[in-house]
């Protein structure tokens, strides 16, 4: 999957139909690096890899609204709630399901 297709999937995932190109591209590039490190030398299907990259990029993109892992929805009636600061939080279970033993509990 090329960068243009990944960017289109990311836009759909974070509901940004147009604009914010620079930030979306930066988060996509960072996500590709994070996921590549997590996958290592394992072989996974391109569809799974693309899904992992888009999920990670979406989490990175939305992290602006959750500084230090705390998000306040701002409606005045709810308390702030904790969001994981792990950029691969949504990726670990996907890689595990694809047969890649990775993450914090892996013993080599």
Output the pLDDT for position 48: 96
CA atoms within 13 A on the CB side of 52: 25
Residue 81 has pLDDT above 70, yes or no: no
**Parallel/antiparallel/unpaired status of strands 81-82 and 70-71:** antiparallel
Which helix (H) or strand (E) segment is 88 a member of? none
Task: Please tell me what DSSP assigns to residue 87.
Answer: T
Cβ contacts of 50 within 8 Å, gap of 6 or more = 1, 5, 6, 9
> What is the pLDDT, as a whole number, of residue 72?
55
SS3 call for 107: coil
28-32, 46-50, 68-72, 96-100: least confident range: 68-72
Asked if residues 88 and 38 have their Cβ atoms less than 8 Å apart, the reply is: yes
How far, in Å, CA of 24 to CA of 16, rounded?
A: 9
What pLDDT is recorded for position 17?
Answer: 83
- Assess contact for 85 and 69: CB atoms under 8 A: yes
21-35, 71-85, 92-106: range with lowest mean pLDDT: 71-85
Q: Give pLDDT tens digits for 18-51.
A: 888 999 999 999 999 999 999 999 999 999 999 9
Q: Is the pLDDT score of 74 beyond 70?
A: no
pLDDT surpasses 80 at 83: no
* Three-state DSSP state, 61: helix
């Amino acid at each position: 999957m090329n960068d243009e297709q990944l960017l289109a999937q990311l836009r759909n995932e974070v509901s940004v139909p147009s604009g914010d190109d620079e930030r979306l591209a930066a988060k996509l590039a960072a996500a590709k690096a994070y996921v590549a490190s997590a996958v290592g030398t394992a072989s996974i299907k391109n569809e799974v890899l693309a899904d992992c990259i888009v999920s990670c990029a979406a989490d990175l993109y939305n992290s602006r609204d959750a500084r230090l892992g705390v998000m306040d929805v701002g409606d005045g009636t709810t308390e702030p709630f904790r969001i994981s600061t792990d950029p691969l939080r949504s990726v670990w279970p996907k890689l595990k399901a694809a047969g890649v033993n990775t993450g914090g509990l892996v013993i080599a």
